[in-house]
Structure 1
Amino acid sequence: MDRANRSAPAPMGLACVAALLAGMVATLWSSALPAQVLLWALLVLGLAAWRVPSRARWIGAGLAGVTWAGLHATWSLGAQLPVAWEGREVTVTGRVVGLPEPQARRTRFLFRVDDEGRQPAPLQGRLLRLAWYDEFGATEPGPRTQLGAGERWRLRVRVRAPRGLANPGGVDTERYAAAQRISAMGYVRDAAVAERLSPAAGIDGWRSRMSARIADQVPDRHARFVQALALGDTRGLDDRDWQVLRATGLTHLIAISGFHVGMVAGACALAAAGLWWLGPALARHVPRPQAAGAAALVSALGYAAVAGFALPTVRTVLMIAVVVLARLARRHIRLVDTLALAMLAVLLFDPLSLLAAGFWLSFGGVAWLAWCLPSSLHWAKAFLPAQGVATVGLLPFTAVLFGQASLAGPLANLLAIPWWSLVVVPLSLVGTGLEALLPGTGSWAWRAASGCFAPSWQLFERVAQHPYALWWLPESPAWALWLALAGGFWLLLPRGVPGKSLALLLWLPLLWPDRERPREGEVELVVIDVGQGLSALVRTANHALLFDAGPAVEEGFDAGERAVVPALRALGVPRLHALVVSHGDNDHAGGVEAVRASLPVRTVLAPPGSPVDTHAACIAGASWHWDGVRFRFLHPGLHFPYLGNEASCVLKVETPHGGLLLPGDIGAVIERGLVHHDADALRADVVVLPHHGSAGSSDPAFVAATSPRLVLNASGAGNRFGHPRADVVARWRRRGAEVLDTQFGGALRVWLGANGLQVRERRHDQARWWDAVRRQQAGGLSYRLEEGRPDAPED
């Protein structure tokens, strides 16, 4: 028994922490969650097995990880807005959390509702993600500009459950909301009744005031980077800035990072040790090592607070705390044990942090360095090897999490890490410290930081313009990540290990995944989830055509940039051979410019007279062949006037295995005209629903002429138009067609080829537990569709 106890892994050792992590990953990436009663019972069993000293102790830790993560996930979902409250207007009071994000026509912010009985019951104490828009037609920003961090407000808001788009390469809004415990999303409904109840308070209010001082006292255009490096305030960075940072692999440095926190802690520890060296009498009260450790921990904690306790900073603070406690206990502790204890603390406190990219990049990077670099290696000699280890070790994570790899990153980091971390960041912090103690004395340091930052940024902007600076990677299967990590492990083994060149083969499924392109004579159709709008990719063996590009609105959402371009890159589409803009309405043409700016487009086609800048017009009778597939336009005719929806391009795609029909937003009048002119040309196996399923489309004669097996619709969840109409959906179903919609299924992929008609729904194919609310909403909305929604207006 004693021998078994001695061989048992330590309860907080690496083996048990790894098992805990694996159990949590297995739960958080599952499609459903067990019942809460079962989770509690298994948690008790797992904790008991974890406590008993045996060789199988790690099994108990793994079971505890499964159940503890499951309980947190259940609580997060349980806190989300019930379906019955969808779209309600409520009055709430609470506090602004974090720093509001002002934009051209709106301000986005987090809002913590007060936890008291006068608040709406489902929202008491909950965190909301809100937007405050300017009044329609207003020429000047409204009262939203008065919104400040840490302030208490009374607001009238319209709320809905968290939801977003579901596309290859897209941001998963539901996952983000579940991880951040966001209960509802919405917008301020009536600005006239908005009332500030109390001024800014807390660390967020201080950060906001200090950020404003930097903007006032640093006149040049690089003040936004000083704000980011000193306070973690990245609100001033625009899309162009983030593109440069991604292309150069420097996103981890531009805000307060774990490395910066460690650097500040080390500097404060050295300062405390120097003070004790100058005053030896101080050691009579507090030994010098303890004083240095306390200074490191306090400074790290304060700097992390300034950053809003971002995950990389929390990880560094925890690691510093572990080292300080070990020093106080006069015990030696290895770096890997420090990392394991810090990870244990994060996982026990917030298992849902596993859903954030920061967890994997932060802990993964340190883990690779701890395993590969000997602790005895001097930091100056370790700098270059550390860059190589980080590049190889973190590439699989960046490829999976962001779908990209910065080829310029390793070289850019060689310059940015020492220059920004040892020059720009200290100057930024000196300015912040002086300004906090004596207002008006920190501007010189902030300006010096901006001046030192400027030359390096100009260099990185030029580097980012190189066509090979950033490599966009197609979406790969989940198992490719683990193969690539195994390949990285193999590559980073000691030099004498044979066969390292073979390890590169394990990277192939990640870097060059199967793009599932159709073969000769086959076609693929992808209806991208763009909300209330349309964008569809038609792909043959060697060509790609995009039909529409989704909506774009002044408030900052551009489906071309946020949904279409990421989806095309994730699907492995490097260029478009044709872009067809069915007509000039915003919900179809809004994202065109973003697509054209991001990808090479050979030809742009639109109906004659449309406001879209085109190379050619789509005219009935025009046709061409790609890879054994015929494309031809059925509408509009040569002299047909531009009438908006009714002038939409109607594209027919024909293969030896069947046809596709994309009719844009044509209405019943045009549909009947097409049936009268050539009903046989309308026959198709797959049809994109005309005009999103509005009441003025899908004429019975048109439905009969097409007689599809599958109908795909693009509409926004809970859209105000009531699309698709229940009677329209029923009309297609009576003809034997299956009807799928992006608002419930996400992006819809269809293959038409030798293997027949195959379809895949994004939300069904990659179902996760955080989609449970969306599935519940889908059930409710489907029921309402069957009942009909006659009160919803048409667009």
Structure 2
Amino acid sequence: MAAHLSLAWFHQRASGVHVAHAGAALFGSLCAASLLAGVSLCLLLPGLPPRGVLWCCVLVGGGLAWRANAGPLRGGRVLGVLLLGMALAGLQAAHALQAQLPVALQGQSLILRGQIVELPVHEVRRTSFEFVVDTDISQPASLRGQRLRLAWYDDDPRPRARLQAGSRWEFPLKLRAPRGLRNPGGSDAEKYALAARISATGFVQKPLRARRLAGPSGIDAWREAMSARIASTTPAASSRFVQALALGDTRALDDTDWARLRAAGLTHLIAISGFHVGLVAGFCALLAGGLWWLLPALCRWLPRPFAAGGGAVLGAFGYALLTGMAVPTMRTVVMIAVLVLARCLRRRQRIADTLGLGCIVLLLLDPLAVLGAGFWLSFAGVAWLLWCLPGDAGEGGGKGIMPILRGFFAAQAVASLGLLPLTVVLFGQASFAGPLANLAAVPWWSLVVVPLSLLGVLAETLHAGAGPWCWQAAAWCFDLLWPVLTRIADSPLAMLWLPEARWFALPLALLSAFWLLLPRGLPGKPLVLLLWLPLLLPARELPAVGAVELTVIDVGQGLSVLVRTAHHSLLYDMGPAVADGYDAGERAVIPALHGLGVRHLDLAMVSHGDNDHAGGLQAVASVFPIPQVWVPAGSPTHGTARCVAGQQWQWDGVRFRALHPAEGMPYLDNESSCVLRIETATDSALLAGDIGQYVERKLLAEQPASLRNAVVIVPHHGSAGSSDPGFVSATGARLALVSSGADNRFRHPREAVVRRWCAAGAEVLDTSRSGALQVWIGRQGLQLRERRSDQPRLWDAVQRRGQAAGLCYAPEILRP
């Protein structure tokens, strides 16, 4: 990001062009902002307006945008463009949602033919890839031409190695509509699927029946082959970074690499950025201009400046096509094309209007691009730079290296401060090492490593065997700086994780950044720093002394519950981790803890050793050092102490008591689950792990009073072998919470179990429908928050199908 921000600043300083425009030009920056506002407002709605309303917005907005820029309707153009943006986003979103897998095909076995697109990701037991279904009539009508995200599970990597980009296959598949976890601080897989037009996700049901119909072909195949060539001819370990910088292929980067890049604020430099495209465009312009210089006769057909401009546009577009057409690359391509066109027409064009036109073109092509973080970081970064570093700034400052250095440092400062609010909101983190790391990495990677990497790709394309020396030189140059950047990223103060903030925190922080970046001498700059507080120090909503908060984290088919008192935190189970690479501890629990503002864990309890409860422990412990880990005696999970019935302690006026397993009881998997009771002055909660009806009856016979609880985590995810009728009745629960995965193969929670809890007077909620569930027990009674209904989104799969989040509803429970 910072690299092409600096490039835009230098371009603007060189041009020094400022042209005033009267009114709101249809393709100017004001209309671009209005179109963006309309698209964003529509996608923030909890549901889509009716199609009739959207088409009315098209007609009214189109009329205002075309005619209303003078007379009594002066200023109506901006409103018209805003209406057009809302309608365009709504119609595109409706089409994308309608194209998702219909309910009738959910979970069915299908045989589909099509082509692998993008680059398959090979892991230890799984290969994930995107697949576009053929359009012939032999394929299901609702899936023809649709994009699917699939996985092939196999312990043997050799069959999966044949899954190459551009190859055609026939697969036996089992599909479902895109679904994802919904947690505080977590990513939204359903939003990503909508933006990427993913119609369904699934897996290859019987790999032995998969048939390869044709070998790899096309741009994706070339890209994968070139990436493999870099890996095989560049012995340095950093060849993986050369693959990423040259082709945007980040598959070889591991979790440690990404963690360091995030901590150092360098992720924007790894993938293909606008600066890469600018380098390619500049080289192609020089190449075309040189050809016209060598063959002057060509000027009779086309002037040399026009040829150079055409070469720049073709080179930029071709390179963007080869590297996946990401938002930053397309923005740069559009800006280059507009600048070339303006020069050919001998018209002066402000950089701000060029940026606005790029925004308009991208939104017209794909209004759902605003769902991606790259769109906002790309356009917001350049917009900040144009606002804060005008082209005539610093005139009279003299020529030489010092003005250039001042401009570069100013660009980095603007990028760091201006993009900090977006970074915190989009990723929940702030990199304090980012500005320092970027000062070194931006010029070195962008001006040395990237050109060598691209030169190697060009040389290898023109003549096989000519590229390795460039790639090896790029890897050597990369290795010179990477150890220093690694030390910066590994420093304890490099990264700060921040809790989720309220909706108004972002506009307040942007206003503060805007005020701080205004010219010197304006009053109130120290005071506007206070506007950062809602973003950087948001309220953590900790319970009062004597109260407790339970958060059932959405981990899929498993369990993880965060228990917080006023000054302590306990984590009960950590969700599953499977050999194919999915780790709920890493992907769900850790982001949720960060999003809720948890800074440390005082105790972790692993109810029993099954993977769906204990799998995520290692990932969580690597981020949150845990002083104590309690496990049942005989559990395969290592702990520091045993969970035994009778143990009790008190935190902040809240009493904790273990009810099971008894001392001396042999380890019996589910039946040895550690059962924990949490008692406040007003109500209590029961965390029952995976106990079955045998232990439920045993507890009912031995400790009937302890089973009386207002909140119960339903045992064993609502399986048929749990929730004994006597146990359910004895709890007197008002809230029965189930943690299960969407469309899980065990069919949890079972319908009979749900009816049993509902008949006993409890409201039953399931994380697969509601997302994360937060419950407060205190003097104000029970309070509940469901993640999906509290923050509804128009792409929410459950809401879209008209299903209620609750399996049965209790209106007396407060929902703040």
For 1:444-455, list aligned pairs within 5 A.
444-455=469-480
Deviations 1:5-32 (A, max 9, x none): x964211122222111111111001100
Matching residue's letter, 1:732? W
Is residue 2:651 matched to residue 1:626? yes
Decide which of 23, 44, 48 is 2:59's aligned counterpart.
Answer: 44
For 1:153-232, list aligned pairs within 5 A.
153-232=169-248
For 1:44-123, list aligned pairs within 5 A.
44-52=59-67, 53=69, 54-123=74-143
Per the TM alignment, residue 45 of structure 1 is displaced from its structure 2 partner at its CA by 1.3
Structure 2: how far apart are the matches of 1:724 and 1:55? 56
Deviations 1:441-468 (A, max 9, x none): 1111111111111121122222221111
Structure 2: how far apart are the matches of 1:151 and 1:404? 39
Decide which of 14, 23, 26 is 1:11's aligned counterpart.
Answer: 26
Is residue 2:284 matched to residue 1:268? yes
Structure 2: how far apart are the matches of 1:545 and 1:461? 33
Is residue 2:784 matched to residue 1:731? no
Per the TM alignment, residue 748 of structure 1 is displaced from its structure 2 partner at its CA by 0.2
> 1:793 — aligned with what?
none
User: Considering only aligned residues, what root-mean-square deviation do their CA atoms show, in Å?
Assistant: 1.7
The 10-residue stretch of structure 1 (764-773 or 560-569) with the greater mean CA deviation from structure 2? 764-773
Decide which of 634, 637, 640 is 1:612's aligned counterpart.
Answer: 637
Matching residue's letter, 1:500? K
Answer yes or no: is the 8 Å Cα contact 1:110–1:129 preserved in 2. Answer: yes
Decide which of 370, 384, 390 is 1:374's aligned counterpart.
Answer: 390
Structure 2: how far apart are the matches of 1:88 and 1:761? 30
Answer yes or no: is the 8 Å Cα contact 2:754–2:764 preserved in 1. Answer: yes
Is residue 2:167 matched to residue 1:144? no
> 1:127 — aligned with what?
147
Decide which of 319, 338, 354 is 1:303's aligned counterpart.
Answer: 319
Decide which of 622, 634, 649 is 2:674's aligned counterpart.
Answer: 649
Structure 1: how far apart are the matches of 2:233 and 2:720? 58
Matching residue's letter, 2:259? Q
Deviations 1:97-124 (A, max 9, x none): 1111111111111101011211011111
Answer yes or no: is the 8 Å Cα contact 2:558–2:739 preserved in 1. Answer: yes
Q: 1:271 to 1:381 in 2, by over 3 A?
A: farther
Is residue 2:661 matched to residue 1:636? yes
Per the TM alignment, residue 776 of structure 1 is displaced from its structure 2 partner at its CA by 1.5
Matching residue's letter, 1:359? F
Structure 1: how far apart are the matches of 2:802 and 2:198? 17
Per the TM alignment, residue 276 of structure 1 is displaced from its structure 2 partner at its CA by 5.2
> 1:23 — aligned with what?
38
SS state at 1:98 partner: strand
Decide which of 775, 784, 795 is 1:770's aligned counterpart.
Answer: 795
Deviations 1:664-690 (A, max 9, x none): 111111111111112111211111001
Structure 2: how far apart are the matches of 1:46 and 1:535? 49
Structure 2: how far apart are the matches of 1:752 and 1:674? 23
Matching residue's letter, 2:31? C
Answer yes or no: is the 8 Å Cα contact 2:789–2:805 preserved in 1. Answer: no
Answer yes or no: is the 8 Å Cα contact 2:164–2:216 preserved in 1. Answer: yes
Per the TM alignment, residue 773 of structure 1 is displaced from its structure 2 partner at its CA by 5.2
Decide which of 467, 482, 494 is 1:457's aligned counterpart.
Answer: 482
SS state at 1:155 partner: strand
Structure 2: how far apart are the matches of 1:442 and 1:147? 26
Q: 1:595 to 1:571 in 2, by over 3 A?
A: same
Q: 1:507 to 1:221 in 2, by over 3 A?
A: same
SS state at 1:605 partner: strand
Q: 1:386 to 1:667 in 2, by over 3 A?
A: same
> 1:592 — aligned with what?
617
Answer yes or no: is the 8 Å Cα contact 2:120–2:130 preserved in 1. Answer: yes
Per the TM alignment, residue 272 of structure 1 is displaced from its structure 2 partner at its CA by 4.3
Per the TM alignment, residue 574 of structure 1 is displaced from its structure 2 partner at its CA by 1.2
Per the TM alignment, residue 379 of structure 1 is displaced from its structure 2 partner at its CA by 4.7
**Any stretches of 5+ residues in structure 2 without a counterpart?**
1-20, 394-402, 809-816
Deviations 1:374-411 (A, max 9, x none): 22466543110010100111111110111011110000
Structure 1: how far apart are the matches of 2:416 and 2:272? 20
Matching residue's letter, 2:45? S
Structure 1: how far apart are the matches of 2:755 and 2:33? 52
TM-score (norm 1): 0.95
> 1:321 — aligned with what?
337
Structure 2: how far apart are the matches of 1:772 and 1:614? 39
Structure 2: how far apart are the matches of 1:66 and 1:777? 23
The 10-residue stretch of structure 1 (769-778 or 686-695) with the greater mean CA deviation from structure 2? 769-778
Structure 1: how far apart are the matches of 2:744 and 2:474? 48
Per the TM alignment, residue 704 of structure 1 is displaced from its structure 2 partner at its CA by 2.1
Structure 2: how far apart are the matches of 1:165 and 1:469? 28
Structure 2: how far apart are the matches of 1:638 and 1:777? 48
Is residue 2:741 matched to residue 1:716? yes
SS state at 2:161 partner: helix
Deviations 1:690-733 (A, max 9, x none): 11111111112211221111111100111111111111111111
Per the TM alignment, residue 171 of structure 1 is displaced from its structure 2 partner at its CA by 1.5
Per the TM alignment, residue 267 of structure 1 is displaced from its structure 2 partner at its CA by 3.8
- Identify which of structures 1 and 2 has the higher relative contact order when contacts are C-alpha pairs closer than 8 Å and 6+ apart: 2
Structure 2: how far apart are the matches of 1:124 and 1:241? 38
Answer yes or no: is the 8 Å Cα contact 1:83–1:776 preserved in 2. Answer: no
Matching residue's letter, 1:179? A
Matching residue's letter, 1:770? W
Per the TM alignment, residue 66 of structure 1 is displaced from its structure 2 partner at its CA by 0.8
Deviations 1:607-653 (A, max 9, x none): 11111111111111111111111111011111111111111100111
Is residue 2:714 matched to residue 1:689? yes
Answer yes or no: is the 8 Å Cα contact 2:178–2:797 preserved in 1. Answer: no
Matching residue's letter, 2:765? L
SS state at 1:712 partner: strand
Matching residue's letter, 2:99? A
Structure 2: how far apart are the matches of 1:774 and 1:562? 23
For 1:561-576, list aligned pairs within 5 A.
561-576=586-601
SS state at 1:531 partner: coil
Per the TM alignment, residue 779 of structure 1 is displaced from its structure 2 partner at its CA by 6.1
Deviations 1:338-371 (A, max 9, x none): 0000000001110000100110011111110111
Answer yes or no: is the 8 Å Cα contact 1:535–1:546 preserved in 2. Answer: yes
SS state at 1:477 partner: coil
Matching residue's letter, 2:37? A
Q: 1:758 to 1:253 in 2, by over 3 A?
A: same
Structure 2: how far apart are the matches of 1:524 and 1:577? 15
Answer yes or no: is the 8 Å Cα contact 1:7–1:55 preserved in 2. Answer: no
SS state at 1:171 partner: coil
> 1:757 — aligned with what?
782
Answer yes or no: is the 8 Å Cα contact 2:553–2:588 preserved in 1. Answer: yes
The 10-residue stretch of structure 1 (371-380 or 749-758) with the greater mean CA deviation from structure 2? 371-380
Query: What number of residue pairs does the alignment pair up?
Result: 774
> 1:358 — aligned with what?
374
Per the TM alignment, residue 541 of structure 1 is displaced from its structure 2 partner at its CA by 0.6
Structure 1: how far apart are the matches of 2:290 and 2:497? 49
Answer yes or no: is the 8 Å Cα contact 2:794–2:800 preserved in 1. Answer: no
Structure 2: how far apart are the matches of 1:457 and 1:145? 31
Structure 2: how far apart are the matches of 1:237 and 1:503? 40
Answer yes or no: is the 8 Å Cα contact 1:83–1:777 preserved in 2. Answer: no
